Structure 1
Amino acid sequence: MVFKNYSQKNRPINPRDTMAPNRGIIAFFSRHKVAANLLMAILILYGMFGITQLKRQLMPDFGLELISVDVEWQGASAEDIESNIINAVEPEVRFINGVKEVNSTAFEGRAKMYISFKESVSMTKALTDVQSAVSRITTFPQDIEKPIVTQVLQRDEVCAIDISGPFSEKTLKFYARQIRDDLISRGLANVEFQGARDSEIWVEISSDNLRELDLTLAQVSSELASSSIDLPSGSINSGGVSRQIRSDRLARSPNELRDIEVVSKASGEKVYLSDIANVYETFRVNSSYRVNTEGPSIGLKVYRTRGADSLVSQQAVEKYMTQVAGLYPASLEIVVYDVFSDQVRQRINMLLENGGTGLILVLLVLFVFLNGRVAIWVAAGIPVAFLAALGAMSQMGLSLDMISMFALIMGIGIVVDDAIVVSEHTTTLHRRGMNYKEAARLGAQRMFPPVLAAMLTTVAAFLPILLIQNDVGNIISAVPITLSLVIIASLIECFLILPHHLRSSLKKVSEGENKPRKFDVYFNRFRDDRVLPIIEKTYTKKGFTITATICMLLVSLTLLSTGRVNFEFFDTPESDILLANFSFSPGTSEERTEEMVNEIGRALYSVEEKLTGQKGSLVNYGVGNIGVSYTGKGSFSSDVSGGHIGSFVAELVSGDVRLIRNREFIEAWEAETRLMSGIENFVIFEDSVGGPPGRDIDIRVIGDNLSQMKKAALALRNEMRVLPGLIALEDDLPYGKEEILLEIKPEGEAIGFTAEEVARQVRNSFSGSVAQRFSQDTEEVIVRVKLPGDETENQTIRDIYLTAPDGGS
């Protein structure tokens, strides 16, 4: 028998080549043309349908076993919040079934608590248990706001919208509310206000008028509350007709409040609120607001529904923005920035580019070493396997996100390796002289056990990730699942579809002219004369081979341990969002904080012109915030708030089209910013892009003495500033305000004053007495009775006029 063999040394067919039986599912599909092509068509259609159902988002959906409790107590210090609120709530929620840990933070005027539960606990029941536990507490201070208990849900942002123009803040808020309602009606899950201060109606009464009428702020507040009501009074049946009774005298505007009688004497004399008070609409004190280069602005943060496609959600926003142009004044500026779906689109394009590049490289390599027809069918197996995997992902509820795309990119090499192994062995058998039918069948049958073993090894290496039970495990669980689906799809394509296509290709080769290529001759000569002797020596000298392997392993470990090869658990691309936080000493006015925000904005655009020479080539948008700082996207920790705190958000053009890197821009921005006197903290850092939430590194200082903890934090900050690669460093323990302690003298006690009465009159003088709360335009409006601002700002606490319980002063 003579063998046509131009690519290898002539030798008889190995007897093992004919040992595989001509039966089984691989043999059936290798010779059945309809079955193989039909299976390929089914996988393609299945994948195309799956793509239409597959959600596209940045991070996978995952559950958070967190319940938050938020309690406000205006005017209270952080120590008061801890002793009166946190210490009251923690014992009630700590021993609820399934609670893992409780983390509490006390701010000035607010308490924030996070209750973490075990993964096996039903969060619906956990939410009910926490609400019941908080409602049972009877020791809360009288003046606190109603505790808000909510479940923390993982949400993906869609984009941010900024609304500004030559309008009052109230008018901007009206336009923002309309835009919010329109977006929600178009299917977006949640649209939240940013920088929209709560409305209040202030009733300012001078102390002279109070003394003249022998009234207190609490009495005026009580009179307003009893005179301005909207109260159902039941129903009455009369004359066969049923009617409802209602008392509707609720004052919802300053004009309606001015007409309320405050004093009515038996002689017929009446004193209306307009006679003694200045009534006007304003905004809540110490609530955050926003400014940009045009003046005041209102922000909207748009979130997608759980399970919705990020790209579809963004398209809904863009479609609405094209329709909204004619609905509002031309001077109203509506800017969409921080488009989160752009990051999803970039990663999908990266996956397609990597897949396309891999496909081209595979084709080039296979065309060089194998037959052209064989190379085409091997390359065609990549999209077929991927489509099948995408179809299965959609059926399992997975999404096309950063985690699953990472697994898909790894799967490209697996799919190609399987097909190359089978096609190369099949081509080798055919070149040795075997019939193309038998070569296609035997090549697949013989390679199935080793390929399957290799695939199972890969799956076994990644499946333990599913055993991770914390938040990180929930996020990266998509890696082993997606990779397993790609491997299964690759095995189906490689052993049930590819063999028949190799059979058809080799048939064409057998029928055509079969002359050797010069490359094959030279390559095989190099392989046989150069490579094979080295392989034989490594096989015969096992000790040397094992020693060399161990040495290479030690070298790899040394490169990692010495830092020559950097390690990063979750590498993320450069963000286009930069954040700047600063804080003054407590008590700094909001006006001064706003001046610093404007200075940061000036420095931002000045740096842009210095680095690029023109405006708009580097910075897309910038907006400042007064009263709030940012911890970064995806962080569940509470943002610090207060009138002495400010921040600035800047969006740069995409990192793919700019030459200026974030670190260079941040350094120039910090150098250009002229810090005002009294500033305590100023940092600029880039926002996170995907990955686990939170800061890069968290260091906790634990102790009983807050002053010592603050000193330790400052010392640690000073030591760490010299570390290489450090961008921003800050602590979350701000300096507190000085306290004035009230103590009643014996003379006051003799008059009849109590500690509670004195504290309440002092509180009403500075913070005001809440007379009424009512709902208007989907928000709560507070009517607050207080002293005029010039009296509280220009007088000390010793100058406050107090009314004794018996009416004296």
Structure 2
Amino acid sequence: MNYESKDPKPGFAGRVASSFIRSKLTPVFSIASVLLGLFAVAMTPKEEEPQISVPMIDIRIASPGFGPKETERNVVEPIERAVWGLEGVEYVYSSSSDHGALVTVRFKVGEPLEPSLVKIHHSLMELRPSLPTNVREPVVRSYTIDDVPFLALTFSSAERDDFSLRTEIAPLARELSSTPDIARTELLGGRKKSIRVVADPNRMRLHGLSISEIAEGIRANDAFVLSGKNWGKDFLYDVEVGTPISDRKQVEATPISTRGGRVIRVSDVAETKEGPEERIRESVLLDKKLGPEPRNAVTLVFSKRKGTDITNLSKELIRRAENFTKGLPKDVSLSVLRDYGSTAGDKSNELIEHLLIATFSVAALIALWMGLRASFIVSISIPVTLALTLSLYYFLGYTLNRVTLFALIFSIGILVDDAIVVLENIERHLKSNPKGEFLSTILRAVGEVGNPTILATFTVIAAILPMAFVRGLMGPYMKPIPVGASLAMILSLLVAFVVTPWAANRFLKIHSHRNDNVKTESKLNRIYENTTAWLLHSRKNALLFGLGILILLLSAFSLVGLKLVKVKMLPFDDKEEFQILIDYEPRTTLQESMRFSRELAETVASDKNVEKVQIFVGDSAPFSFSGMVKHSFLRSKESQADLHIVLTSKKERKSTKMIEFRTMIPAPAMNPIIEVAVKYAPVIQCPGRIPINDMGMGAMMINGIM
């Protein structure tokens, strides 16, 4: 049943309020909204950062026999011209070297990945006939933000070598790779199992064979072909030719050539050894919880599928890894090198906690100025509005991250404005007309401020919504803020016209109005009236007031110009990990690179804020989003080392001041082989800013994990 007010023009707000002010659906709507919001919080994937679609596609081309200049002129330039003309391409990078090149194509922000891949493949297929004949088929691979490993588990031992350690952990890698929502599993560090063929020069000379003939013979016999079918009387048979090489005996029996009617096999000219491969990579862990000595280490890294809740997924993977560790030898220990699931959950909980604190603060402030009843009524509208906004986040495909939750905290002060305006006008009407019909008075009050409230709400939306159309990388990154705040404000307007009148009708009925004929005026109103009168009655006072405002505005701007206040889109994130990337002189051996890196790692690990340091030489450390853009995962040379440093949790750190790493870096004289070519990194986001100066290492970079 609709209750119409005596106002002949109740407006949109009055009509909405009259439909819900006595409806039994209103409390049902409020409760259902809160429950839906709780469901959305539980079901919405939690991540550290928003999902950004920035298709990045690598094209690897092998060109045997070509030097860098020939590769660039004959291979890279034609490919660059072909892909540059594709729609949506923003940047093309290339790197040419002996016998090959890498071309990276980056599409514009927001371009879908699958169509971008199709464009690249189609362009390469058209270009293939015009490339030199010795150029092999290009290898194309795409990278997105979901390829960044969200979990890294390190298994270490002080007694075992890296080969036996990797052999122990490989079954776990195969087991966990089949976990739902896991896109990729990779095992870093350690030596793989291999069969080595050691040729004997004397026996090769005796049979007239070269090392290339031996290699080609093994390669040719490591094949498997379906050659057709054969029909028997009772059965149909598949004819198969060849057998893939799988063990040492097959390698020894592999025929290479014929000499004088005799088949020459691998065992005739070489010895075979089964065991670890040649050491081309090495990884060492220094973990204070496991002791001071360095430990051989292998690391399992996991990447997720798009839209996966990494909080629950990382917990499941760690639980299964811990169960697997119970069956390993006692000298093998498990350490968590990276867990974005835990940090994403902590940040989500922390932001939700701040959201609740902001809600209670607003409620307390309203109770102080408008009374407990008014505070209770407005407090009803806040969780209903936030719950509906979180539900829309879920249905629109957003994730819960620091940007989406920041949007809600940012807008919470605006969300209560509509409810406060409506409720304050209802109380004013009840006080000015205490003998009037209660229901009609509420509807009249809502209708009176409805249109101005709608206009004010959409004016604020018009001011912040254009931020959603910002182009470039920061556009989609910050898009949840204007979208979330705008949706929350529209919903707050709806709640102010639906829930607030209903709550006022329920909880303001027993509102007493004593001394109705006596007009009381608050002290705050008297101060406001006196100040306004002082400004309006004198032109000089108004000019002085405006001049004061202008001076304050210019003073605020000068803080930025004088660098007393640092302007940043988001605050520094107190990360618990970062990386040091070191490029030694190119001729540095693996052993020397590890020795120098261990010296640096031991020095860094001595800091009380450092929990563990893992060294990767000849293999890249688990990369971050910044590392994906910079392609740090391609660091596989023996002269390249990555130090992955994990700090203690921020709860354990007594200070969050800037950490000075200058004193941790050895002097150049300690490492004479290193070419001193320092690359400065102005910001390390862990914790806050970390200045790097006067570092005596060769080509060193400090990467913040963004």
Change (3 A) 1:227 1:438: closer
Change (3 A) 1:632 1:729: farther
Displacement after TM superposition at 1:84 (Å): 5.3
Change (3 A) 1:416 1:110: farther
Q: 2:497 aligns with which of 478, 488, 495?
A: 495
Aligned to 1:112: 102
On the 8 A contact 1:620/1:653 being kept in 2, the answer is yes
CA distance in 1, matches of 2:476, 2:679: 32
Q: 1:399-439: CA deviations, max 9, x gaps?
A: 21122111111121112233333323332333334355455
Displacement after TM superposition at 1:389 (Å): 0.9
On the 8 A contact 1:229/1:248 being kept in 2, the answer is yes
Displacement after TM superposition at 1:184 (Å): 3.0
Does 1:161 pair with 2:156?
no
Change (3 A) 1:80 1:677: farther
Aligned to 1:644: 639
Residue correspondence of structure 1 range 269-668 to structure 2 within 5 A: 272-281=265-274, 287-293=280-286, 294-434=294-434, 435=436, 436-510=438-512, 524=521, 526-540=523-537, 541=539, 543-608=543-608, 618-628=609-619, 633-635=624-626, 636-639=629-632, 640-661=635-656, 663-664=658-659, 666-668=661-663
Task: Give secondary structure in 2 for the equivalent of 1:585.
Answer: coil
Displacement after TM superposition at 1:183 (Å): 2.3
Q: 1:598-631: CA deviations, max 9, x gaps?
A: 21222133233xxxxxxxxx43332100024669
Residue correspondence of structure 1 range 724-735 to structure 2 within 5 A: 726-727=691-692
Change (3 A) 1:353 1:48: closer
Aligned to 2:128: 137
On the 8 A contact 2:14/2:444 being kept in 1, the answer is no
Letter aligned with residue 170 of structure 2: R
Identical-pair percentage: 17
Does 1:70 pair with 2:82?
no
Letter aligned with residue 451 of structure 2: P
Change (3 A) 1:383 1:27: closer
Displacement after TM superposition at 1:194 (Å): 2.4
CA distance in 1, matches of 2:564, 2:64: 53
CA distance in 2, matches of 1:39, 1:631: 47
CA distance in 2, matches of 1:671, 1:662: 23
Displacement after TM superposition at 1:20 (Å): 5.9
Aligned to 2:28: 38
Q: 2:166 aligns with which of 166, 173, 176?
A: 173
- Greater shift in the superposed pair: 193-202 or 243-252: 193-202
- Greater shift in the superposed pair: 82-91 or 334-343: 82-91
Displacement after TM superposition at 1:116 (Å): 2.9
Task: Give secondary structure in 2 for the equivalent of 1:659.
Answer: coil
CA distance in 2, matches of 1:245, 1:527: 97
Aligned to 2:216: 222
CA distance in 2, matches of 1:398, 1:564: 36
Displacement after TM superposition at 1:651 (Å): 0.7
Task: Give secondary structure in 1 for the equivalent of 2:639.
Answer: strand
Displacement after TM superposition at 1:633 (Å): 1.7
Displacement after TM superposition at 1:668 (Å): 4.1
Displacement after TM superposition at 1:290 (Å): 1.8
On the 8 A contact 2:230/2:238 being kept in 1, the answer is yes
On the 8 A contact 1:54/1:400 being kept in 2, the answer is yes
Does 1:234 pair with 2:228?
yes
CA distance in 2, matches of 1:54, 1:689: 27
On the 8 A contact 1:538/1:544 being kept in 2, the answer is no
Displacement after TM superposition at 1:387 (Å): 0.6
Aligned to 1:708: none
Letter aligned with residue 217 of structure 1: I
Aligned to 2:289: none
Displacement after TM superposition at 1:684 (Å): 9.1
Larger Rg: 1
Change (3 A) 1:329 1:184: same
Task: Give secondary structure in 2 for the equivalent of 1:509.
Answer: coil
Letter aligned with residue 159 of structure 1: L
Change (3 A) 1:42 1:351: same
On the 8 A contact 1:164/1:298 being kept in 2, the answer is yes
Change (3 A) 1:505 1:265: closer
Change (3 A) 1:203 1:417: same
CA distance in 1, matches of 2:337, 2:315: 14
- Greater shift in the superposed pair: 352-361 or 257-266: 257-266
Aligned to 1:766: none
Letter aligned with residue 84 of structure 2: R
On the 8 A contact 1:579/1:684 being kept in 2, the answer is no
CA distance in 2, matches of 1:535, 1:244: 98
CA distance in 2, matches of 1:186, 1:226: 36
Displacement after TM superposition at 1:499 (Å): 1.8
Displacement after TM superposition at 1:196 (Å): 5.4
Letter aligned with residue 651 of structure 1: V
Q: 1:712-755: CA deviations, max 9, x gaps?
A: xxxxxxxxxxxx9743799xx979xxxxxxxxxxxxxxxxxxxx
CA distance in 1, matches of 2:615, 2:56: 30
CA distance in 2, matches of 1:133, 1:200: 38
Residue correspondence of structure 1 range 60-99 to structure 2 within 5 A: 60-71=50-61, 79=69, 81-83=71-73, 85-99=75-89
Change (3 A) 1:448 1:456: same
Letter aligned with residue 279 of structure 1: T
Gaps of 5+ in 2: 1-5, 287-293, 701-706
Change (3 A) 1:572 1:407: same
Task: Give secondary structure in 1 for the equivalent of 2:613.
Answer: strand
Displacement after TM superposition at 1:455 (Å): 1.6
Aligned to 1:807: none
- Aligned-residue CA RMSD in angstroms? 3.8
Aligned to 1:56: 46
Q: 2:246 aligns with which of 239, 244, 252?
A: 252
Letter aligned with residue 665 of structure 2: E
On the 8 A contact 1:286/1:643 being kept in 2, the answer is no
On the 8 A contact 1:290/1:296 being kept in 2, the answer is yes
Aligned to 1:614: none
CA distance in 2, matches of 1:74, 1:334: 42
Task: Give secondary structure in 1 for the equivalent of 2:52.
Answer: coil
CA distance in 1, matches of 2:648, 2:495: 42
Q: 1:681-734: CA deviations, max 9, x gaps?
A: 5679799779xxxxx9xxxxxxxxxxxxxxxxxxxxxxxxxxx9743799xx97
Residue correspondence of structure 1 range 10-49 to structure 2 within 5 A: 21=10, 24-29=14-19, 31-49=21-39
- Greater shift in the superposed pair: 646-655 or 257-266: 257-266
Change (3 A) 1:230 1:35: closer
Q: 1:243 aligns with which of 219, 233, 237?
A: 237
Give TM-score scaled by structure 1 length.
0.74
Change (3 A) 1:37 1:562: same
Gaps of 5+ in 1: 1-16, 609-617, 691-695, 697-723, 736-809
On the 8 A contact 1:160/1:301 being kept in 2, the answer is yes
Change (3 A) 1:532 1:153: same
On the 8 A contact 1:670/1:684 being kept in 2, the answer is no
CA distance in 2, matches of 1:412, 1:110: 56
